[in-house]
Amino acid sequence: MKRAPHLSALIAAASLWATPAAAQRHDTNAPIDFAAENLELQDRANRAVLSGGVTIRQADLTLTAARVTVAYTGQVIGGSPQVSRLDASGGVTVVRPTQRARAQYGVYDLNKRVLTMLGDVSLIQGNNTLRGGRLSINLDTGRATLDGSTTGATGATSPAENGVERRQGRVTGRFTVPQR
């Protein structure tokens, strides 16, 4: 039986994100700290819009972007609204202790404990790089999947990064080999 050509890249993406340091469950109950140049509170819509060099930190996870919309429930506990979702755009970067992921857009669903990154995604650990169109990370299990979904034209290429040219619609990558 022949495997789908992208199956090995999916396995590799999962192994990049779920290394021993990252396999520890992310504390999605930890407080979320943020910094931004601007904050627009849209209280009737239960959301806040952060813009201008946004940095969001939760435990060992840091998200940076140009703009982040924070959706919260009407429920207030300890004087704070309960955040349910973060929608990020503009050069989104997510950093954990040994990995870095980049994309055009990102969605962190706190209720599902899933982080999804879309549009020219790169997942980097050390010298290993994977590129694709959509990355989904379950923060409870550490399982990551990367596919070739695109937000751009099919068949177009992106510039090489770390020597890896990305053909949109496919998952590509480069793994380093131990020197002997």
pLDDT of residue 173: 78
Average pLDDT, integer, range 73-90: 86
DSSP string, the chain: -PPPTTHHHHHHHHHHHTSHHHHSPP-TTS--EEE-SEEEEEGGGTEEEEEEEEEEEETTEEEEEEEEEEEEEEEEETTEEEEEEEEEEEEEEEEETTEEEEEEEEEEETTTTEEEEEEEEEEEETTEEEEEEEEEEETTT--EEEE---SS-TT-EEEEETTEEEETTS-EEE------
pLDDT per position as a tens digit, 15-42: 444 444 444 578 888 999 999 999 999 9
Judge whether residue 1 has pLDDT over 50.
Answer: no
